[in-house]
């Protein structure tokens, strides 16, 4: 794993993993450990997976990989792109609503 994973991500993922393995476990003492001790604890927890059933082992290994190395969200827009999209969509909505109101007024006026 090395230095690729930031400390807070490593601590958070290890804490959540320990709680997934044993919900009654107290994980508050984990925050006093240094990085190498947390890595050793994570290795021990992964070794503990060998005694679990294969389905749970696969689910927890997937959780560890997703938690420590999250995939980027390619379709997540930055704030200014969201703002531009919202303004353009609001203008389109306003024009279409206004156009429909005008059409209804014309149609109902001829009755």
3-state secondary structure 59-89: HHHHHHHHHHCCCCCCCCCCHHHHHHHHHHH
| pLDDT score, position 50 | 67
pLDDT for 2 beyond 60: no
pLDDT per residue as tens digits for the range 29-68:
777 888 888 888 777 777 776 677 777 778 878 888 888 8
Q: Is the pTM of this model over 0.75?
A: no
Q: How far apart are CA 70 and CA 23, in angstroms?
A: 24
How high does pLDDT run on average in the chain?
Answer: 83
């Amino acid at each position: 794993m090395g230095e690729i994973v930031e400390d807070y991500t490593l601590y958070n993922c290890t804490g959540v993993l320990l709680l997934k393995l044993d919900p009654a476990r107290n994980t508050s003492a984990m925050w006093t450990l240094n990085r190498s001790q947390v890595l050793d604890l994570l290795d021990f927890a992964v070794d503990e997976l060998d005694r679990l059933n294969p389905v749970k082992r696969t689910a927890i290994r997937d959780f560890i990989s997703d938690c420590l190395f999250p995939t980027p969200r390619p379709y997540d827009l930055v704030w200014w792109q969201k703002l531009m999209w919202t303004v353009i969509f609001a203008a389109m909505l306003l024009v279409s609503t206004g156009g429909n109101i005008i059409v209804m007024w014309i149609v109902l006026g001829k009755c």
